[in-house]
Amino acid sequence: MPLILNNNSSFILMNLAFTILIFSLNFLPHDAANITAATTTSPEFSTSVLNVTTALNQVHHVLSLKPSFHLHQNHEQQQQQTQHTLSPSSSSSFSFQLHPRESLFNAHHHNYRSLVLTRLRRDSARVSWITSHLNKSNLRPEHLSAPVTSGVSQGTGEYFARIGVGQPTQHFYIVPDTGSDINWIQCKPCNQCYKQSDPIFDPSTSSSYALVPCKAKQCKDSELTGCYKNGCEYDVFYGDGSFSSGVLVTETLSLGKNGSVKRVPIGCGHLNHGTFAGAAGILGLGRGALSFQAHIKASSFSYCLVYRDTNKSSTLEFNSPRPGDSVTAPLLSNPKLKTFYYVGVTGVSVGGRRVSIPSSTFAIKPSGMGGIIVDSGTTVTRLPTPAFNAMRDAFVELTRHLRRAKGFLILDTCYDFSSVTVATVPTVSFELSGGGSWRLPVLGYLIPVDDKGTFCFAFAPSVEPVSIIGNVQQQGTRVSFDLVNSVIGFSTDKCS
């Protein structure tokens, strides 16, 4: 006798069959399960494929990297003979190389878990520093480019650039930082200095070194500077207790094959303390008057942060055109806190579905709180707790078929991929107020935290109402800041 099913019973059986299929995958041979994960997607939501094997191979690779900072020295000596002077008011483009921290200054961690722990501790200090500024504020041209390497950030730091200082040129690794308004390096004589990879800058050997007098406009342009007996001095303090204090000077900065820029305001630090991982100081890319791009009157700058577990590099560029495939949003400013770059965001999506978060969550309030900052120094993206919970819960709902793992410090949503080579996961996107959607690379939101196959959702809650887009989410994406038209652009796979 044929079995007759009504609509309700058909629906129940279909769901039962899907449940049995998912359950049985856990008991398939690994190769069969991997093939299914790589080729099966749900018609109900959009997915990305995480190549677990490739990511773990890179994890093992980064632990074996040898420091490479010494490789630049001979090349730099050759470049010194061919430099030309760049005018701060010109519109030509130039760039620096950017390098990840571990490719230059491997700290010889015993395992990858230890490395991630160190990164997250630096990250917490960075976030504390940013929120302290927010709370305090609530109370009161040339196309240039340079290499960007994953390395240190302010009080932390995951990416480095190489620049020359003085005449004749002395070369140093520094941390490009969109959250800093002032450039500075450690200088002799050192009353107190932390250990750096290059010899400390000696101003007495530079013919282009000049003190900034108290009456100069540069000495009055920032709350970080003040007039003392010996002229203009500066003080910078960070959230983890790091600091730099010294005199404000002007110096020639050399940009490799791009040439040099004269009379750049830079702090010469005689009293310094911090965890800057071998870097000599900071290249300030914030919106303040003493920052590097303010001095050169840049119309734009951009960077692409390579994945931090590689030994590749990308570029920090000035006055270069924005990639044509960029998704864009308004570049906003906070009148209460002018240092940081805010982006117009209306929401987030998981699996192609808009998460139920009020758009006002990402708006800058009249008090100066709220908004969402794009920051090169923060590691893990922070969202206000209600917004984070909604996003996290949406992700968990669409990953019920994946094996969970214990949380890892601030990362409370983790997965055990130790028995698979690929995993299919929901997509994650920021919905921009310009109407576009910035879809993150899968390693921009699921990151390995050990060498065994534990991956965690790289977002964390913030007790403050401000949101911060960190450098994990920015990996593999060229982030372009159009300073003239107040537009920010995101273009994936533009690091080469």
Q: Judge contact between 194 and 276, C-beta under 8 A.
A: yes
- Report how far residue 285's alpha carbon sits from residue 177's, in angstroms, rounded to the nearest whole number: 5
- Report how far residue 111's alpha carbon sits from residue 174's, in angstroms, rounded to the nearest whole number: 26
- Report how far residue 478's alpha carbon sits from residue 492's, in angstroms, rounded to the nearest whole number: 6
From residue 477, alpha-carbon distances to 81, 156, 355, 396, 480 in Å are: 34, 21, 23, 25, 9
Residue numbers annotated as active site: 177, 375
